[in-house]
Amino acid sequence: MSNQKASFLVVANRLPVDSVTDADGNRHWRRSPGGLVTALHPVLQAEKGTWVGWAGNAGPAPEAFDLEGVRLHPVSISQAEVQRYYEGFSNASLWPLYHDAVETRTFRRSWWAAYEEVNQRFATIAAEEAAQNAVVWVQDYQLQLVPAMLRQMRPDLRIGFFLHIPFPPVELFMQMPQRVQILKGLLGADLVGFQRPFAAQNFLRLTKHLLGLQPRGHYVAVDDDLADERLVRAESFPISIDTATNESIAAEPEVIKRAEEIRNELGDPRTIILGVDRLDYTKGIELRLKAFRELLEDGELSVPDTVMVQVATPSRERVEHYMKLRNKVELEVGRINGDFGQVGGPAVHYLHQSYDRRELTALYRAADIMAVTPMRDGMNLVAKEYVSSRLDNTGALLLSEFAGAAGELHQAYQVNPHDMAALKQGFLEAMHASDTDKIKRMRAMRRHVRKHDVQRWARRFLSALGVPEQQALSRQCLGQRAEGTFTTVNEPT
Ligand code: ADP
Ligand code: G6P
């Protein structure tokens, strides 16, 4: 393993790997699928990069190791810190607050102390691993203090931060007891990226409201003792998917065959409605089920003509709101099936499981209507994955206005999921639309997702951070290795 310092680092709560056990019982690491990893892997490889993150288990972390040309540096998080930093402050304070407080947020001082401590640990490792003038890209709400902590230790670094979830309006953010610390933590970055323009505006507005700064356009000047005056840029960079890979998986004969099998196994219904979400209260699964039940009650839909498949990926299972949600969702699924199912033919096929990419893509291919109806969501990649899998431009996307993706996928059947009548109407509209209308919409959305893929997202962010585009991604994404190290610029242009 090399001891060389990295010129490009990603710092994220999770490492992009899964621990797997092979047939002989040996454990090893495997790169986990996912757009962020796919987009950043070529840059990490080319720049001898390091990814700093948690391996997902409580207790001491394994030694740093190399995998497919990238150094992975696990961060240890104790059992108590998992409860306070991860389940507590990250997922019971920040997560609900940043998602419009669709569930009650809880603040505990002991959670905050652990959040600070763990953020400091991530920052310290990054500071130790980074070469002079390196570029460090910090990811998401679990690590909002890292930019300032890192800058304090290593003012030479170029620091970017990207928030994958929504950033709340001023009134909501103001509830947070540690609002000033969080804001100052983020202002340690040179570039703070958000999914939507509104989020960037909320952030800039807060710098004025809370800290008395004077934001201008996308910039705000900060004076942090380390430099006379430093400009922080805040802007939206909507994340996307690895469209080319998704499309090629969707075109595989086995995937096409599997999609047909799935339709068969579901009894060849006229319409398959699909939902694929982490089992999270922001995703609007309950509202979606309620709408489906009411449509069955109203006689607008009937089983087995129409069936729903709801994949609900296990998530954050020790956090109270998540336990309660699981009970509520499963009760509702049971109720719908009890009232409307038949022997061997449930109305809702509920799957509380993880799937591999191909099975998920086969589901996307099999579905006539994809229901993505979160109450609030930073982006929602599932919506983009569905669109990219519809190679023949068929299918319909029912999309919540409150998903970040709604800012781009204008041709989806957009609904306000908080309005039950509108949600039901949205289902019917998507169901009864003409083929011509659906194809026109899907074609436009596919074109968008093709052009705006995750590689473009990473390229845009890194070049805004001052990493020259040609060095950052363009050639590496085509599978070529880049030469040289990143050049950093001090002033945003
Ligand atoms: P979030 O990040 O809130 O979970 P997104 O929709 O943005 O929501 O991203 C979810 C990602 O997880 C997508 O790439 C999707 O394909 C993947 N995913 C969701 N459910 C499953 C599942 N059951 N098995 C495997 N991957 C899943
Ligand atoms: C969202 C967050 C990510 C998080 C993921 C899965 O996408 O933005 O930061 O990693 O959900 O959640 P988990 O808590 O399992 O990491």
* Domain end position, chosen among 414, 432, 451: 451
Q: State what percent of residues in the chain have pLDDT above 70.
A: 93
Quote the pLDDT of residue 224. 77
Q: Which ligand number lies closest to the CA of residue 374?
A: 1
The closest residue, in CA terms, to atom 16 on ligand 2 is: 14
Cβ neighbour number for residue 261 with a 10 Å cutoff: 12
**What CA–CA distance (Å, rounded) separates 325 from 332?**
11
- Spell out which residues line ligand 2, taking CB within 6 angstroms: 13-14, 140, 164-165, 315-316
What whole-number distance in Å separates Cα of residue 142 and Cα of residue 118? 9
- Ligand 1 neighbourhood includes 325 CB (under 6 angstroms): no
Q: Which domain holds residue 89?
A: 6-239+454-478
Same domain, residue pair 220 and 349: no
State in Å: Cα 109 to ligand 1 middle: 31
Rg from Cα positions in the chain = 23
Same domain as 273, residue 198: no
Confirm whether 460 is domain-assigned: yes
pLDDT digits (tens, 9 = 90+) for 274-322: 999 999 999 999 999 999 999 999 999 999 999 999 999 999 999 999 9
259 and 225 share one domain = no
Q: Which atom of ligand 1 is nearest to the CA of 164?
A: 2
Give me the chain's average pLDDT, please.
92
Amino acid at the residue 220? V
Ligand 2, atom 7, lies closest to the CA of 164
- Assigned domain for 1 exists: no
- 200 by Cβ neighbours in 10 Å (0-12 / 13-18 / 19+) ranks as buried
Instruction: Looking at the structure, tell me whether residues 207 and 294 fall in a common domain.
Output: no
Q: What is the CATH number of the domain that holds 203?
A: 3.40.50.2000
pLDDT digits (tens, 9 = 90+) for 184-214: 999 999 999 999 999 999 999 999 999 999 9
Q: Is 476 in the pocket of ligand 1 (CB under 6 A)?
A: no
C-alpha dist (Å) from residue 233 to 50, 225, 243, 316, 466: 24, 18, 28, 33, 11
Catalytic residue among 41, 73, 99, 164: 164
Q: Name the residue at shortest CA distance from atom 14 of ligand 2.
A: 316
Residue 493 included in any domain:
no
Q: What is the pLDDT of residue 48?
A: 79
In a domain, 489, yes or no: no
Structural domain tally of the chain? Answer: 2
Q: Is 164 a catalytic residue?
A: yes
What average pLDDT does range 408-413 have in this prediction?
A: 98
Whether residues 370 and 329 fall in one domain? yes
Classify residue 126: in a domain, yes or no: yes
Is the dihedral angle over the CA atoms 408, 410, 413, 414 positive or is it negative?
Answer: positive
**Ligand 1 midpoint to CA 278 (Å):** 6
Greatest C-alpha distance within the chain: 73
How far is the C-alpha of 99 from the C-alpha of 380, rounded, in Å? 13
In this structure, the chain runs to a length of: 493
Residue pLDDT, tens place only, 54-84: 999 999 999 999 998 899 999 999 999 999 9
Q: Are residues 212 and 316 in the same domain?
A: no
69 and 21 part of one domain? yes
What CA–CA distance (Å, rounded) separates 352 from 326? 9
234: in domain: yes
- The first and second tokens of residue 126, run together, are 């990054």
Which ligand has its closest atom nearest to the C-alpha of 140?
Answer: 2
pLDDT at 259: 98
Indicate if 11 and 133 belong to the same structural domain.
yes
d(CA 363, CA 258): 8
Residue type, 296: L
Which ligand has the shortest distance to the CA of 239? 1
Residues 402 and 321 in one domain: yes
In a domain, 484, yes or no: no
Question: Residues 262, 228: one domain?
Answer: no
Q: Is 309 in the pocket of ligand 1 (CB under 6 A)?
A: no
Q: Candidates 165, 322, 379, 384: which one to mutate for ligand 2, based on the most atoms within 8 Å of Cβ? A: 165
Q: CA-to-CA distance for 63 and 118, rounded, in angstroms?
A: 18
Catalytic residue among 190, 277, 377, 453: 377
Ligand nearest to the CA of 283: 1
My answer on whether 73 and 219 are in the same domain is yes
Q: Please confirm, yes or no, whether 432 is among the known catalytic residues.
A: no
pTM: 0.94
Query: What's the rounded mean pLDDT across residues 367-388?
Result: 98
Placement of tokens 């992975």 in the chain: 72
Cβ 420 vs Cβ 429: under 8 Å: no
Residue among 36, 358, 382, 397 whose CB has most ligand 1 atoms within 8 A, to mutate = 382
Q: Quick check: is 46 in a domain?
A: yes
Ligand 1 within 6 A of CB of 336 = no
Report helix, strand or coil for 155: coil
Cα 91 from Cα 83, distance rounded (Å): 10
Q: Same domain, yes or no, for 188 and 303?
A: no
Verify whether ligand 1 is closer than 6 Å to residue 454 (CB atom).
no
